[in-house]
Structure formats: structure tokens, C-alpha cells
Amino acid sequence: MKPAMETAAEENTEQSQEKKGCFECCIKCLGGVPYASLVATILCFSGVALFCGCGHVALAGTISILEQHFSTNASDHALLSEVIQLMQYVIYGIASFFFLYGIILLAEGFYTTSAVKELHGEFKTTVCGRCISGMFVFLTYVLGLAWLGVFGFSAVPVFMFYNIWSTCEVIKSPQTNSTATGSQICVDIRQYGIIPWNALPGRACGSTLESICNTNEFYMSYHLFIVACAGAGATVIALLIYMMATTYNFAVLKFKSREDCCTKF
């Protein structure tokens, strides 16, 4: 009886040790995850997807509104059509580039954590590895500055559509102390510089302007530009997080390259 009890106790002890070993292994793996890089990657993918997808559809809707209501002659907005088409192709390139770049930065974050050392033995840095990390730091800073410009640029169509929408609201609900009638309230799209001054009709007034605001193209384009602007802002935040993560990783690799060092950022 006693040997049987001892055998059962030993089996229970082995099982508890196995469970404890699995638990400790999971904790070590979770402790080695670069959470900052992971959050930045998710935010970057989401922001770029919103900016590219919504921006592409909004640009198509904008050119449709211009052709139907503000510039009936195709030669007047031919340059704008070419620019918008070029921007749509650029959007494809931006989406592809940031998909690859986000994966690369996330992989770099994983491979500079303690999880790599725990799984693959001694972790030592090389000059080439430090140079690659430094290159990522520089490139991320450049992209961050570039996306600040993109974020500011994406706010321009939101401002334009907001002005048109607010003018339509004035026409729908005229002020009692206003001297202008609804038919005298106009929006001249030529003042924004997107079509030349000789473009006809170039502006819309009164009920015509109100009907434009009630179209599906205007409603969709306005809100899609807002979402695209928000996506650009999310991408800027993601790149700021990437800046901190890559800078921290590079600093650790540079100043402690000869020590038993790794980073979890």
C-alpha cells in the first residue's frame, strides 16, 4: 500500500511541475512580446486602411460632383482629374508599403526581446544589426514627418466640404436678421483653386446648392474624407509609437552591445 501511495504522490508532483513549467513558459513568452510595437502595428494598419480606402472612394466622389455641378467642360478640370487619378495610384503604393513596413518593424521588435534569447540561446548584437536598427530609426522619423504633412493635407477637403455643408444649412434655416435670401447664398468652388476661374458654372446658389448637399455623392464624400483624415491621424500616432520603440531598441543595442542585453519595448 505504501509504495502505491508514494507512486501516486510522485505522479501528482510531476504533473504539478509540468503545469508549473508550462505556466512559467507562457509567462516568459508573454513577457517577451513587444507590446508597444504590436499596438503600433495594429494602429498603423487600421489608420492606413482607413486613409487609403476612404480616401480613394472620396476622391472619386469629389471628381463626380465637380463634373456634374461645378465644371461642365471637361478641359477645365482635366488637370485635376489627372492629379486625382495619380493620387489614387499613390494610395495603392502607400497601402502596400506600410503593410510590409509594419510587418518588418514588428518582426524587429520581436527579435530584440528577451524571448529570442530564451528560445534561441545567447543573443549577441553585430555592427550590421545595429546599423539596420539605426536605419529603421531614421526611416521611421522621416515617415512620421511625412505623415504629419499628409494629415494636414487630408484636413483640406474636410474643410472645403464643411464650408459647403454649413452654407447649405444656412439656406435650409435662414437667420431672421439676415439680409440675403436663400437664392443669394452661393458657394464658389473656384476660390479654392482646384478648378480655374474660367470654369463654368464654377459656383452654385440657393436651391441648386441645396440639392447638391442632398446628393449621395456629397454625403458619402464628406464623411469619407473625415474618416480618411482620422485614419491619417491614427497613422501619425502609430509612427510616434514606432519612433519610441525603435529609438529605445537602437539605444539598448548600441550602448549595451557587449553585455547580456535585450529589450522588451
Greater confidence (253 vs 116) lies with 253
Mean of pLDDT values over 166-176: 77
Poorest-confidence range of 26-40, 92-106, 145-159?
26-40
pLDDT of residue 75: 79
Cα torsion 164, 168, 173, 176: sign = positive
Q: What is the mean pLDDT of residues 145-169?
A: 91
- Residues 9-19 as b or e (16 or more Cβ within 10 Å = b): eeeeeeeeeee
DSSP string, 211-244: HHHTSHHHHHHHHHHHHHHHHHHHHHHHHHHHHH
User: Which has more confidence, 132 or 167?
Assistant: 167
* pLDDT for the residue 249: 74
Digit-coded pLDDT (tens) for 201-254:
888 888 888 888 888 989 999 999 999 999 999 999 999 998 888 887 777 666
Confidence of residue 125 (pLDDT cuts 50, 70, 90): low
Three-state SS for 259?
A: coil
